[in-house]
Structure 1
Amino acid sequence: MTDDAQDSFTTLGIDETDLSLVHALQLDPRAPWTKVGAALDLDPVTVARRWARMADAGLAWVTPQMGQGQSARAFTAVVEVHCEAGRSLEVAATLARQPHAFTVEHTTGSRDLLVTVALPSLATLSRYLVESLGALPGVRETRSHLVTSVHAQGGDWRPRALDPQQRAQLATDGPERATTAGTRRLTDQDRQLMLLLCADGRAPLTDLAAELGVSVSTVRRRLHALAAGGDLELRCEVAQPLSGWPIATWLLAEVPGAEREEIARQLAELPETRVCLGLTGSRGNLSYSAWLRSLDDAERLEQLLAQRFPRLVVLDRAVVLRFVKRMGRLLDPVGRSVGVVPMDVWSDPFDEY
C-alpha cells in the first residue's frame, strides 16, 4: 500500500482489519458475526462494532445488485453524457436522484459523465433517454451503448485482504450465485424486500419482516428464493478512494465478435477487474473497468491487455474523477455513502421525474 493510501486509511478510520472484514462480507454479505469473527480470529462483538463504525461513517455498506434472472429481463445501457461547460456536477446530482440511474461517474475524456441505467423495456429505455436524461438542463449530447451481456460486476471485485484458508472458511456455506437465470417475475413483496435491502443489505430479518408486515420465516424463505432463482445478489462495497485501489478506469474496446465471450471471460478473471460488459451501439462491443493502485498502473494495464489480447483494440479510455453514485448509493467526494436512492428497475420512470 502506498504512503498516501495508508494516510487516508489512518485519517478516515479504515485499517487492514477493516479491509479484511469487507472482504469477508463480500464472500458472504449476511454472514453472522460469529462466522466472520472465527475467520478473522476476532471476537464477534469486536467484528460487529467495527462494521457498525464503518457503516455509520459511510465507509462500507452491503447493497443488492440484480442477479442473472433480473438482468436478463431488464434493459441496461451505459450512457455517455456530454454537458454544457461548468454544469457536469449539477447534471450528475440530478441524475443521481433517479432510481433508474444506478451509477453516475464523473470522468476524463470526451464525455463528462458515464451513467449506467436500467429500465424494464426498450420502449421505456428509449423514452427515458430522450425525454428524461437527454432533456435535462445542462445536457448537450448523449451516446448510448446497450448492454448485451454481463461478464463481471463490481460485486465480484475483492481487496485481496484474506488468505486462502480464511476465504475457504467464509465461502463454505455462504450463498452461491445462481448458475441459470430464472423466468419468474418479481412479486410486489419481492420488490419491496429488494428496495429495503438497498438501504441496508444486512438489515436483520426481524426488521425486514416488520417493514413488510410478514413473518421472519417468510422473509428468510423469500431471500433464499430470490438468491436461488438468480434474481438477487448482495455485494459489500467500500469507499473506493480508501480501499487501497483509488484509481478507477474505463476502457471501450472492440474485439472480434466470435472471440468476445472468451476474451471477456479472461478479462473477468483479472484481479483488477470491476466490470466487464458486452455492448452493442455506435462503436465498441466491450466495456471494461478496473480499480488500480496508481495512474501508472493504468498504462501498465493497457500494455498487459495488448500483450494478452492482441486482437482487442482500445477505442476510448477514461479515468473516473469521482463516483457521484454507485449502485444506488449517493457518495461524497471522498467516496463515502451519504444517502441512498433505491434502485427500482420496474417502476415507471415518468411517474417520478
Structure 2
Amino acid sequence: MADIFTPGQVGGIEVRNRIVMAPMTRSRAQPDGTPGPLAAEYYAQRASVGLIVSEGTQPSDGGQGYLTTPGIYTSAHVEGWRKVTSGVHEKGGRIFIQLMHVGRISHPDNKRDGGQAVAPSAIAPGVPMFTATGMQDIPAPRALSTQEVIALIDEFRHAARSAIEAGADGVEVHGANGYLVQQFLAPSANVRTDEYGGSLENRARFAIEVVKAVAAEIGAERTAIRFSPGNTMSGIDEGPEGPALYHYLVAELDRLGLAYVHLMHLGDEKLLADIRRLWNHALVLNRPGRPRDRIGADIEAGVADLEAYGQGILANPDFVERIRRDAHLNEADPATFYGGGAQGYTDYDALAEDRA
C-alpha cells in the first residue's frame, strides 16, 4: 500500500515522495516581475518534497494583481526562473510553475501597466486589497470581449512555453481561489451572453480551452490545474450547479491525460469522492488546516495520490524529514509572509540547526 513517503507519478515524471509544496504568494519579486535574488535559495531549500508548485506567476502584465509578484512571459523572467529550477533540480527536486491570472482581483496601483483589471464581466468583487498605500477597495473590472478572451488563452500558452524554457518540469493553471479561471466558472462573476457565459458548459469553456492550449504547447503530461470547488473567496459563488459544474469539468479534462488535478478541499466529501471516481490520473489534495496526525491519511485511504501542504513547508524547509522523524515543526510567521527579504523566507531553521 502506498504511503506518503513512497515514490509517486505525476504525468511523465516520478516524484520521490507524495508530499507537495502548495503554491504560496510571497511577494518578493523584482519590480519587473523577475524572481528575486533569494528565490532560488528558498525553493532549493524545500526541494526534498516530491513536487514544488511555485507561487502564482502572471502570464502577462494584465494578469498581475498583487505587489511584486513574479511573471513568466519575458526573457528576463525566463532567466530568473531558470536559476530557481536549476537550484531545485540540483537538490533532486521537481517543480511546476503555477500560472495565475488574477482577473478582477487587482488594483491599478499594484500593476506594472497601471491599467484597469479585466474579467469575464464588469462586476467588482466587493472586497478590498492591499496596495502600496494601504488597503483599498477593488474597483470594477472591464469586461473582456470575445476576441480578448481568445487572446488571453494564448497568453497562457506563451507563459507555459516560457516556463518550460526556464527549466520547469511542468505548469499548473490556477483555477481556484477566486481568480480569473474561477471567475469564468461562477455566475456571481460571469454574466456573459457569448459562448463563455450562461450554461455551465459555457462557463467551463475558458478553463478547458486554457488547459487544452497549454497541453498542446508543452504536452498534457506536463500540464495540471488547480480547483477550489465551493470556494467563496472574493465574491465568488458557483451557485447550486457547483457540483455539476465540477463533474463536467473533471470528466472533460480527464480525456486529456493531464499530469494531475490539484484540489483545495473545503469539506464536500461527496464531491471529492465523485471527482476521485471521474479522474483517472494523479490527484493532489490540499486540506487546509489538516492536523498533523492526519498527514498521509488520504493517500493511505486511496482518496488522493499526493497531499499538498503550505505553511508547514514554508516554515520547515526539511518538512519531509521532520514528518518522517515525528520531529518538532517550526511555526510560520504571518508577519513575514508577503514582501521583505530573507527573514521569514530563507532563514527558517533546518532540523540539525533546530536541535543545536
Q: One fold, TM greater than 0.5?
A: no
Where is the helix percentage greater, Structure 1 or Structure 2?
A: 1
Whose relative contact order is higher, 1 or 2, with alpha carbons under 8 Å and at least 6 apart? 1
**Bigger strand fraction:** 1
